[in-house]
Amino acid sequence: MMRGSIGWSCVLSVACLLAPLAQAKEPPRFAWPDGQKAAVNLGYDDALDSQLDNAIPALDRHGLKGTFYVVPANPPLQLRMDDWRAAARNGHELGNHSLFHQCSARGAGREWVKPERDLDRVSVAQMREQVALANTFLQALDGRAEARTFTAPCGDRQARDGDYIAALGDMFAGIKMVGGTAVVLDMATLDPRNVPAHVPVDASGAQLIALVKEAARRGTMISFTFHGIGGDHLSVSDQAHEELLAYLDAHRDTYWTATFLEQMRWVRGQQEKAKAARPD
């Protein structure tokens, strides 16, 4: 058949006419490692006691791995170093959440930010050095020399003299930023240095499960940033957390629950593959 010509049988067939339209509408689905529909990262910020006492035992019961963004300068980490070391040995990721957890003290709800930890008073160069030192600390804690991931405290990026997150360059395999959409909208254009993270507070199990289902519907990922589990600040109940974990455990064919580092390595690999395949 000549190029561009259409057989009569095809012209008369509605399905034949609509097929190219349907193909054009559906972008190719992003490939996850074992054909799952979505990736889910269970992230926990601030190294809280309730994470060691409640979250990690729950993850271990379900054989799931989480990512814990710890703050070296905070007592919960200093007082229970052996417990955190054991969590890392057990396959959980220890991530960088800066050395001193600096956030801007400006605006409502930021009264708790101490003057010596006010991001508005720290320079970009100081933040960069402290974040690099936090990586060295983490390596001393868990013995891992590999790449790390980072979550910006409070989702803030503006230091005294500029955007310190931008100044981190390629220091990290992935960076989570709070704010933006809960579920990633498009994997092809996702910037690993600016991955939206969702912070659930007082959420029910059903609400958490609805979010992972939305990620599966889109074929993308959702990155949770929990804080307290069954205690501490910005908490989610043990029951809601357990319901989400049980759901992910029971639907492993649909959800790839893994550390943020593993997921960012995978996403970068897939994005590079797609780039190499694209004609210039």
Q: Shortest Cβ distance from residue 45 to Zn ion (Å)? A: 4
Mark 23-48 as b/e (b = at least 16 C-beta within 10 Å): eeeeeeebebeeebbbbbbbbbbbbb
Nearer to Zn ion, 98 or 220 (CB): 98
CA distance 119 to 158: 7
By C-beta, is 127 or 216 nearer to Zn ion? 127
Question: Which lies closer to Zn ion via its Cβ, residue 46 or residue 142?
Answer: 46
For 78, the token pair is: 């200093």
Q: Which residue is nearest to Zn ion (CB)?
A: 45
- Least gap, CB of 29 to Zn ion (angstroms): 33
Taking CB under 5 A as the binding criterion, the range among 8-16, 27-35, 37-45, 242-250 that sits at the site for Zn ion is 37-45
Say how many C-beta atoms besides its own lie within 10 A of residue 244's C-beta. Answer: 29
Backbone dihedral angles phi then psi of residue 161, each to the nearest 5 degrees:
-120, 25
String of b and e for 54-68 (b: at least 16 CB within 10 Å)? bbbebbeebebbbbb
Which is closer to Zn ion, CB of 46 or CB of 93?
A: 46
Q: Which is nearer to Zn ion, 106 or 273 (CB)?
A: 106
Structure tokens at 207: 């609400």
Helix H or strand E segment including 99 = none
Q: Which stretch binds Zn ion (CB under 5 A): 25-33, 38-46, 79-87, 156-164?
A: 38-46
Tell me the closest approach of the beta carbon of residue 236 to Zn ion, in angstroms: 15
Contact 176, 199 (CB under 8 A): no
CB of 46 to Zn ion, least distance (A): 4
Structure tokens at 211: 């979010």
Residue type, 202: D
Pick out residues in 130-159 that bind Zn ion (CB under 5 A): 153
Among 30, 40, 44, 46, binds Zn ion (CB under 5 A): 46
Sorted by sequence, the CB contacts under 8 Å of residue 228 that are 6+ apart come out as 48, 50, 51, 234, 235, 236
* In the complex, minimum distance from the CB of residue 158 to Zn ion, in angstroms, rounded to a whole number: 16
Q: Which is nearer to Zn ion, 214 or 231 (CB)?
A: 231
Angle subtended by helix axes 124-142 and 81-89, to nearest 10: 70
Among 36, 40, 44, 45, the residue binding Zn ion under the rule CB under 5 A is 45
Min CB(85)–Zn ion separation in Å: 21
Binding-site size for Zn ion (CB under 5 A) equals: 3
Residue among 155 and 162 whose Cβ is closer to Zn ion: 155
Nearest to 240, CA basis, from 198, 202, 204, 200: 204
Least distance CB 153 / Zn ion (angstroms): 5
Residues that bind Zn ion (CB under 5 A): 45-46, 153
